[in-house]
Chains A and B, each alone.
Chain A
Amino acid sequence: MPPETVLTARGLVKRFAAPAGAPIEVLAGVDLVVRRGELVVIEGPSGSGKSTLLNVLGLLEDADAGEVCFADRPVSTLGRGAKSRERGRWLGFVFQSFLLLPALTALENVLLGARYTTGVDAERRRRAMALLERFGVGERRDHHPAQLSGGEQQRVAFCRAVLNDPPLLLADEPTGNLDDANGEVILESLRARAREGGAVIVVSHRPDAAHGAHAVYTLAGGRLRPH
């Protein structure tokens, strides 16, 4: 059973070098706590740093200051290998542009994370198949991403994100490239994930993304402000 507090972020600061002048401070001391079963939605205008925040929380990018903890254990200061292992153990990612590997089939894409973490055994393969069936893309398991629609690709990406049953799911504009119907399928899947006990952080522009959320924040001026 994962601990109650899944993620804690304290004083996250991230700056990017500007072509001229002082660096741009995208995150200026972000604090965030996410617990089991919570769906947290982060909104904000384009360029406000939402994706950067998600990258820092997901250990895809280092902060210039501050700390990220998984279950109260600091992970942002770990070495690269340890960070990779923590990502594999704790996190699932859903990206706006799906980021499926074009050379792999839908099933192979779903199993990709397992290849580097738990290993791919018959049980894992059965679970991947069941997920694809549940999300209505079971018959497309041997298709490559180029042969799938955007909605299908995002559903495959969602299956990949949850295959290892990670305590925390990070979704960066998961509906950004989808029509309303497919977008709703994905949002509902994220809500369901939270209902099942997982922690979910969603960055989204869609007004209906906040529906059913436990907390909604706006990122502005490098800080999170609760609604």
Chain B
Amino acid sequence: MRRASLINALRRVLRGYLFTIAGIAIGVAGIVALGAMAERIVRFIEGGDRFVLGQISVAGRGMGMGAGFTAGGLLPAAAVEAIRKVDGVAVVQPQVMLPLNPSTSQFMTLTQELVLGMDLSVPSPNRHYRTLPVQEGRFLREGDRRKAVIGASFAASRRLAVGSRLELEGQPYEVVGVLERMLTAPDRFVIVSIEDARDQWVSKDRLLRTVLASGGVALHAQDLNTGAAVGWREGEDPDVVARRIRDRVAGVNVQLPSELSSLLRQSTAFFSALLVGLGLLAFVIGGLSLANTVAAAVFERVRDFGVKRALGATDWQLGGEILAEALAVTVSGGAVGIVLALALGHGIDGWARRSGQQLFLFSPRLLGGTLVFSMLLGAAAAAYAALRIVRLSPAEAIRRGSAA
């Protein structure tokens, strides 16, 4: 009996509020979809920030072939050794970071595909990424040659998996691991041993090849580093250690973690502003749409509320009823809106993933926050409308409702 009346009540609400729920769903879907795009950008920026704050990045002074945060001139082995001796330095990992395709402009490219060569004999100096999370297969080990661990987006865009073969500068590589999707730079990395990366560098850079072939410069394989990641000892201030390296080692560009973080934030300031704008716009438009829909749904039933008061309903009973219905309708509309946005986002991402992109990030905080926001806004709109309505006498409410 109780179940039947509950089902009847649900049917009544759905029938009476179908268009309201649809209106709310569209507003909420807008908030969630735009919010998910903003979340995606935030995750990218936060990921990069976390990475650069976890290590001191050093490159050789000048310009070179390197890319990414260690871009600069050559960082020879002697310089690496000199850095190791600086007080407060715990570990130095020489690295080679190259654009996968040198013809690709970095202009307006936040997610350039990079080859990262790591000296695997040295543990990762990055405090926030002691290991990169591997989704499938394994990470590289010392002694691995012609083996690669690839980022999730890189794998998706090229349909690569563990065991696939990959050709880099004419050499075959075996994919031994695929990283988890991190929604930040490593998603588009190809990670190889530093020895392999050096080979690729020489192969890519005709000038370097010519210099090496001439024998005019005393250059060894260990000198071919585009930079190094430096870890600091426990209790040391990374900025102080970075300044110490800058003072004591000649011919290097040292990025203070805090400076690099601020540089990263400056370079992404446009996107940050854009996403704040997007988020605000989504909340204002979606919120107004939702509040307007709920308030209109209450106002259009002014006659019904007049009748109910004529039959003995008190303001509190009506207020509670309006609020409960508004919450039920807002939650239903919110849930439908979230499902709509998820379907839309996953559909678009399914298409974008073919080129290794992901445009939406539906985080729990976004979904939960939107639902709570919708409920609060729906309740506020319903309360506003209810206050306006209960101020009318029952006769006036019936008159207005009948005239509408």
A contacts, CB < 8 Å to B: 55, 58, 60-62, 80-81, 84-85, 87-89, 93, 95, 97, 99, 101, 103-104, 108, 112-113, 115-117, 160
**Closest-CB distance, A146 to chain B (whole angstroms):** 12
A-B contact pairs, 7 of them (CB 8 A): A60-B310, A84-B312, A85-B314, A87-B311, A88-B311, A93-B310, A116-B312
Q: How far is the CA of A104 from the CA of B304 in the complex (A)?
A: 11
Q: Given A60-B395, A80-B315 in contact, is the A87-B12 Cβ separation under 8 Å?
A: no
Q: Does B313 contact A (CB under 8 A)?
A: yes
Count contacts between A and B, CB distance < 8 Å: 64
A55 touches B315 (CB 8 A): no
Contact pick for A89, options B15, B307, B312, B314, CB 8 Å: B312
Contact pick for A112, options B308, B314, B316, CB 8 Å: B308
Not counting A55-B393, A61-B395, A88-B313, a sample of 10 additional A-B residue pairs whose C-beta atoms are within 8 angstroms of each other reads: A80-B390, A81-B314, A81-B315, A84-B312, A88-B312, A89-B312, A99-B303, A103-B16, A116-B308, A160-B311
A116 touches B314 (CB 8 A): yes
Q: How far is the CA of A97 from the CA of B307 in the complex (A)?
A: 12
B396 touches A61 (CB 8 A): yes
The B interface is mostly helix, strand or loop, or mixed, namely helix
Q: How far is the CA of A181 from the CA of B398 in the complex (A)?
A: 27
Q: Does B402 contact A (CB under 8 A)?
A: yes
**Closest-CB distance, B354 to chain A (whole angstroms):** 48
Contact pick for B313, options A84, A103, A108, A160, CB 8 Å: A84
Residues of B within 8 A of A62 (CB): 393
**Closest-CB distance, A106 to chain B (whole angstroms):** 13
Top 10 nearest A-B pairs by Cβ distance? A88-B312, A113-B311, A60-B395, A116-B313, A61-B395, A55-B395, A103-B16, A84-B314, A60-B394, A117-B312
Q: How far is the CA of A160 from the CA of B307 in the complex (A)?
A: 11
Residues of B within 8 A of A80 (CB): 314-315, 390
Q: How far is the CA of A55 from the CA of B395 in the complex (A)?
A: 7
Residues of B within 8 A of A84 (CB): 309, 312-315
**Closest-CB distance, A175 to chain B (whole angstroms):** 18
CB closest chain-A residue, reference B393: A61
Residues of A within 8 A of B394 (CB): 60-61
CB closest chain-A residue, reference B402: A97
Residues of B within 8 A of A108 (CB): 8
CB closest chain-A residue, reference B390: A80
Within 8 A of A (CB), among B361-404: 390, 393-396, 398, 402
Q: How far is the CA of A115 from the CA of B317 in the complex (A)?
A: 10
CB closest chain-A residue, reference B12: A103
B310 touches A58 (CB 8 A): yes
Residues of A within 8 A of B402 (CB): 97
Residue from B12, B314, B393 with most neighbouring chain A CB atoms (10 Å): B314
A87 touches B16 (CB 8 A): no
Residues of A within 8 A of B12 (CB): 103-104
CB closest chain-A residue, reference B312: A88
**Closest-CB distance, A1 to chain B (whole angstroms):** 21
Write the B150-193 contact mask toward A (1 if CB under 8 angstroms, else 0): 00000000000000000000000000000000000000000000
Write the B282-312 contact mask toward A (1 if CB under 8 angstroms, else 0): 0000000000000000000001100111111
Residues of A within 8 A of B16 (CB): 103
Q: How far is the CA of A160 from the CA of B308 in the complex (A)?
A: 12
CB closest chain-B residue, reference A82: B314
**Closest-CB distance, A109 to chain B (whole angstroms):** 9
CB closest chain-A residue, reference B313: A116
A103 touches B15 (CB 8 A): yes
CB closest chain-B residue, reference A93: B310
Residues of A within 8 A of B308 (CB): 112, 116
Residue from A85, A89, A99 with most neighbouring chain B CB atoms (10 Å): A99
Residues of B within 8 A of A58 (CB): 310
B307 touches A99 (CB 8 A): yes
**Closest-CB distance, A151 to chain B (whole angstroms):** 20
Q: How far is the CA of A25 from the CA of B308 in the complex (A)?
A: 28
CB closest chain-B residue, reference A52: B395
Q: Given A60-B393, A60-B395, A81-B316 in contact, is the A87-B310 Cβ separation under 8 Å?
A: yes
Q: How far is the CA of A38 from the CA of B316 in the complex (A)?
A: 34
Residue from B312, B317, B393, B395 with most neighbouring chain A CB atoms (10 Å): B312
Contact pick for B311, options A61, A97, A104, A112, CB 8 Å: A112
**Closest-CB distance, A153 to chain B (whole angstroms):** 13
Residues of B within 8 A of A87 (CB): 309-312
